Amino acid sequence: MTPSVVVSARRSALFVIASVALPVRAQAPHEQRFPDVVAVKVKATTPGVFDFDVTVSSPYDTASRYADGFRVSTTAGEVLGERQLLHDHQTEQPFTRDLYSVRVPEGISKVIVQARDQKYGYGGKVVEVALPGR
């Protein structure tokens, strides 16, 4: 594996950007029991209220068993908001959906985002995200 390096000189400053492509082992559908949260974008809209864009991967997705929701909770487990998904996303993997106007109490600076499926419930990879401005 060879890293690619891009070098750019500008106004006598040298900028180096390096990227390395790492091998990723694809999971067979039977290996993944729960959907995974793979990315979260969060934006403060008003004091104490946040919007979330959540990207979920569920490669085993079928019409009879699919990722049917996700939630935002405190690190202590208190659920702050939940989004129900009403259909499968078989042809759209991974997929991103939003959850708007989640109220987060003062003093909470990080939240956990977790996805669920119809058969097994919540599980899989979660994302812990810092709240902007906190």
Residues of the chain falling short of pLDDT 50: 1-27, 29
Domains in the chain with CATH codes: 31-130 (2.60.40.150)
CA distances from 95 to 29, 35, 40, 57, 98 (A): 16, 11, 11, 7, 10
* 3-class secondary-structure state, position 93: coil
Provide the whole-model pTM: 0.73
Cβ-contact 6, 17 below 8 angstroms = yes
Q: Report the pLDDT value the prediction gives residue 76, as an integer from 0 to 100.
A: 97
Q: Report the pLDDT value the prediction gives residue 65, as an integer from 0 to 100.
A: 78
Tokens for 103? 């109220």
